[in-house]
Structure 1
Amino acid sequence: MKAYKNILVIKMSSLGDVLHALPTLYALRQNCPDARIVWAVHEQFAPVLPGRPYIDEVIYVDKKRLKSLSYWKELRRTLHAFHFDVSFDLQGLAKSAIVAFLSGARERYGYWEMREGSFLVSKGLTGPHKYDHVIERYLDTVRVLGGRVDAVEFPLPDICGEKQAWRQRLAADGLTGPYVAIVPGARWNVKEWPLSHWQAFLQRLTASGMAAVLLGSGDDVPKGKALKDHDSSGRVFDYTGRTDLRQLMAAIAESTLYISADTGPLHIANALKKELIALFGPTCPQRTGPYGGNDDAYIHMVLSPTSQATPERPLVDDPDCMAQITPDMLWQVYEGVLKKVKL
C-alpha cells in the first residue's frame, strides 16, 4: 500500500454502519502509521469514533445542508485545506459521493457496492470478500490497494470516565449488582422482537434474580415504559432515551450480557467484545450481524426459524418473522451463556 500522507474516510451514518467501518480505520492506521487520517461523519454519530492515534481530525457533515450549493463551497474549502492524497467512501451513496467529489483527493476509492451514482465519483474496489460480511467488504479496499489486514479490530474512544459515572448512577437508582443490558427497539419495526415476547422473557429473567437495564434512543421510550410498567419485581431499570452515545457505550460495557435484535447498539456491544445475544429474522447476520473475525466466542445468535434473508437478499420484509423467535428459544441460549460468564 502507498504511504499516503493525508487520508479521508467517509462514513457518515448510521450508528451500526460507522462501527462496521472501524476495522478499516484500524487497518489504514497499521498500513499508514504516519498519515493524517480525517473522518467525515454526521455529528450525532461522532462520539463512537476514537481520537488519536487512529483519527487526527473529524469533519462534521450536515446532511440537511448537502442540497445547498453554498454549503458545497463551504465544505470544499474545509476539505481542500487537508490536501488529501486519497479518500475512502465507505458509504457508497449520493451524499458520500458529494463529499468525496468535494474533497479534492487525487485518488478516490470505495468498496464494490457503490450505489446512487457514487461509482461515478469513486472507484469501487472488488476484493476476495465481495459477498462476505460488510466489514470484510470494507476491508477489501485496503487489501486491493496492497495493504495488510492482520486482524479485525475496533478502535474505540476511552470511556473510563463514563463507566465510573454510570456505575454511580446505577447505585443511586438502587442497582449495584450484575445486570443484563437490553435494547427492545430497532430502527425498523420489522426487525423488532414483539413486546409481549420481551415481557415474558423479562419476567423469567427477573424471577431468576437477574436485573435488566433497558437502553435505547428516544424512539424506544414507549417500549421501555411498557416493559417497566409490566414488571412487578423491581429489577427492571428503564433508561431508554436517557443516555447519550458515550453513556450508552458505558452501560453496555458494564453489563454482564447484552441482548437485542438487529440495531445500532448491538454493534457497540460487538465492538466492545461484550458477551452478547443477537436476535435476527428479516436481516442477514452473515452480512451485517455482529462480527468478531476469528475471535467470535462472545457472539451468540438466535435466528428466526422462518428467516429467508441471505447475503444476496439481506432484508426480507416479513412482519411475522421475528415473532417466530419464542421467549423459550432466547431463554435456552441465555442459560447457556450464563454458565460461561463471570458474575
Structure 2
Amino acid sequence: TWLAYAQYVPFLREQPYIDSVLPWDTSAGEREFFSLLRRVGRERFTRLVSFHSSDRGALIALFSKTRLRFCNASKWGALYDTPRDLSFWVAHDLRIPEGSGVGYVVTPDMRKRAASLLGEHASRPFILGAIGASKEIKRWPVGRWKEFTAYAVRAGLQVVLAGEGEEEKTAASVIETAVCSPLVRNVVGKIPLADLGGAISLSSAVVAGDTGILHIARMLDVPSFALLGPTPLPEGLGLASPERMFWTRCPQKACNNWRCTQECLGTISSSDVWNVVSAFLERRSSK
C-alpha cells in the first residue's frame, strides 16, 4: 500500500507492484491528516518506508503502530529503525531492483493512450519540452523556449510541449504561435497524469526544469536534460543522471529562495541547450 497526495493517485494506481493507494487530500486541512493517521494505525502494517524526512512523515511513522520503520531521516532519525546509510531493501532482505529504469512501470495501455493523444507525433522521434514548473523562478522563460523550439524545427525535429496549469497553457500558445510549425505539438493540460509516463517513454529526449516530468524521465531512464536554478538536482534510488545539467549563471544558484529577484533560468542560453541536445540525438541516431 502506498500513501500519496491525492493528485498522484492516478499516477500510481496502474503500477503492478502497488496493491492499493491511500490518498491524502492536503487541501482538506488538519482534520483529514488526523483521519489519515487513524487509518494508517488501523491497517496494522508490518513495515513502513518513508521517502519524506518531514514533520508530518514522522508523525505518521510514530502513530503507525508499525514495528519496522525506515527513512533516510535527519532530525527524526530516532523514530526509525534502519541506519541512514543502509538501503531499506537490504536491511529487510527484500529482493527489489534499485537501478534506474526499473522503479516506474509504463504499461502497454499507458503507451497506447499516450500515443493516441500525441497523434502522428508519436510515430517519429520527438523532444518533450516540459515548459512549466511549480514556481515561476524554476521555469525557463518563454522566450528561451521559443528559441529552442525554433532551433529544433529548423533541424526538422518534432517538439512536444507538455505541462499543467493556466500559465503553462498561455506559454505554450505563445510558443506555438511564434514558431508556427506542424512539427510543434501542444499537449499542455491534455495528458492525464496516468498517461504521462507513457508520453515520456515515447520521447527521444526530455528537456525540463526541476519538475515531475524530469524525474519521471529519470526513473524511466529516458535521456533528459535538466535546467536548474534555485534548486539542486534531487537524487535518489532509481533516478538516472541527466545527460547534461544546465545551471543558471547566477552565483546564488541552488538558493531555494522563491522570492529572489535575480535573473535565474533566463541566463541559460537556448543555443547552448540546443547544441548539446542536437549533438546527443545525432550520436544516438548514428548508432
Q: Tell me the alpha carbon deviations over residues 173-205 of structure 1, each in whole angstroms, 9 at most, x when there is no partner.
A: x77422111111111111111111111111111
**Does 2:253 align with 1:305?**
no
Q: Tell me the alpha carbon deviations over residues 108-154 of structure 1, each in whole angstroms, 9 at most, x when there is no partner.
A: 4422235xxxx2983386534xxxxxxxxxx6455667878874344
Give, in whole Å, the separation in 2 of the partners of 1:286 and 1:264: 11
Which one of the candidate residues 102, 113, 120 is aligned to 2:74? 113
* 3-state SS of paired residue (1:97): helix
* 3-state SS of paired residue (2:280): helix
> Where in structure 2 are the equivalents of 1:13-92 lying within 5 Å?
38-49=1-12, 54-68=17-31, 72=34, 74-92=35-53
**Does 2:127 align with 1:180?**
yes
Say whether the 8 Å CA contact 1:212–1:235 is kept in structure 2. Answer: yes
* 3-state SS of paired residue (2:213): helix
Deviation at 1:87, TM superposition (A): 2.0
Deviation at 1:262, TM superposition (A): 1.3
Deviation at 1:50, TM superposition (A): 6.5
Pair 104,315 (structure 1): closer, same or farther in 2 beyond 3 Å: same
The match for 1:201 is: 148
**Does 2:80 align with 1:123?**
yes
Deviation at 1:216, TM superposition (A): 0.5
> Where in structure 2 are the equivalents of 1:241-260 lying within 5 Å?
241-260=189-208
Pair 179,307 (structure 1): closer, same or farther in 2 beyond 3 Å: farther
Say whether the 8 Å CA contact 1:308–1:316 is kept in structure 2. Answer: no
Give, in whole Å, the separation in 2 of the partners of 1:314 and 1:224: 28
Give, in whole Å, the separation in 2 of the partners of 1:52 and 1:217: 22
* 3-state SS of paired residue (1:252): helix
2:155 counterpart letter in structure 1: S
Say whether the 8 Å CA contact 1:275–1:299 is kept in structure 2. Answer: yes
Pair 203,124 (structure 1): closer, same or farther in 2 beyond 3 Å: farther
Deviation at 1:236, TM superposition (A): 1.3
Q: Which moved more, 1:195-204 or 1:56-65?
A: 56-65
The match for 2:266 is: 323
Say whether the 8 Å CA contact 2:68–2:81 is kept in structure 1. Answer: no
Pair 113,299 (structure 1): closer, same or farther in 2 beyond 3 Å: farther
Q: Which moved more, 1:149-158 or 1:174-183?
A: 149-158
Give, in whole Å, the separation in 2 of the partners of 1:211 and 1:52: 29
1:105 counterpart letter in structure 2: T
2:256 counterpart letter in structure 1: L
Say whether the 8 Å CA contact 2:61–2:79 is kept in structure 1. Answer: yes
1:58 counterpart letter in structure 2: V
Q: Tell me the alpha carbon deviations over residues 194-237 of structure 1, each in whole angstroms, 9 at most, x when there is no partner.
A: 11111111111111111111100124211111111212223211
The match for 2:64 is: 103
Say whether the 8 Å CA contact 1:178–1:210 is kept in structure 2. Answer: yes
Deviation at 1:79, TM superposition (A): 2.4
Specify every segment of 5 or more residues in structure 2 that has no aligned partner in the other structure, as ranges. Answer: none
* 3-state SS of paired residue (1:340): helix
* 3-state SS of paired residue (1:41): strand
Which one of the candidate residues 155, 160, 171 is aligned to 1:213? 160
The match for 1:261 is: 209
Q: Tell me the alpha carbon deviations over residues 256-302 of structure 1, each in whole angstroms, 9 at most, x when there is no partner.
A: 111111111101111111111111122222758x942xxx4x62222
Pair 82,144 (structure 1): closer, same or farther in 2 beyond 3 Å: same
The match for 1:4 is: none
Say whether the 8 Å CA contact 2:150–2:179 is kept in structure 1. Answer: yes
Give, in whole Å, the separation in 2 of the partners of 1:268 and 1:165: 17
TM-score (normalised: structure 2): 0.83
Q: In angstroms, what is the RMSD of aligned CA positions?
A: 3.2
Say whether the 8 Å CA contact 1:218–1:241 is kept in structure 2. Answer: yes
Q: Which moved more, 1:319-328 or 1:180-189?
A: 319-328
Say whether the 8 Å CA contact 1:216–1:241 is kept in structure 2. Answer: yes
TM-score (normalised: structure 1): 0.71
Specify every segment of 5 or more residues in structure 1 that has no aligned partner in the other structure, as ranges. Answer: 1-37, 129-138
The match for 1:192 is: 139
Give, in whole Å, the separation in 2 of the partners of 1:52 and 1:334: 31
* 3-state SS of paired residue (2:63): helix
Pair 51,176 (structure 1): closer, same or farther in 2 beyond 3 Å: closer
Number of aligned residue pairs:
282
Deviation at 1:83, TM superposition (A): 1.7
